[in-house]
Amino acid sequence: MPSKRPESLAIAEQKIRKLESEVARLTSENERFTEQFIRWQYNAQKRGISRAVLDDQLPVIDRDSAEKKT
């Protein structure tokens, strides 16, 4: 007579499948981001845009001042 599997084993298998699916999704997403970065890097270099320019900080947006004007 076969013994019943513990519920904890079924839960662990379900969690493993979910994590494997997430790893596959993130791996695919990372590959797309890598391809996009290489394309942007090539286009920036082709147009003479330096890394220093690309690494510039974003401007600070003062959201409070816009709210006060209304």
> How does pLDDT run across 8-65, given as a tens digit for each residue?
999 999 999 999 999 999 999 999 999 999 999 999 999 999 999 999 999 999 888 7
CA angle (44 as vertex; 39, 46 as ends), nearest 5 = 95
- Classify residue 31 as exposed, middle or buried by CB count within 10 Å of its CB (0-12, 13-18, 19+): exposed
pTM above 0.75, yes or no: no
Q: Show me where the domains of the chain are located.
A: 7-54
Question: Does 67 score more than 70 pLDDT?
Answer: no
pLDDT band with cut points at 50, 70 and 90 for residue 68: low
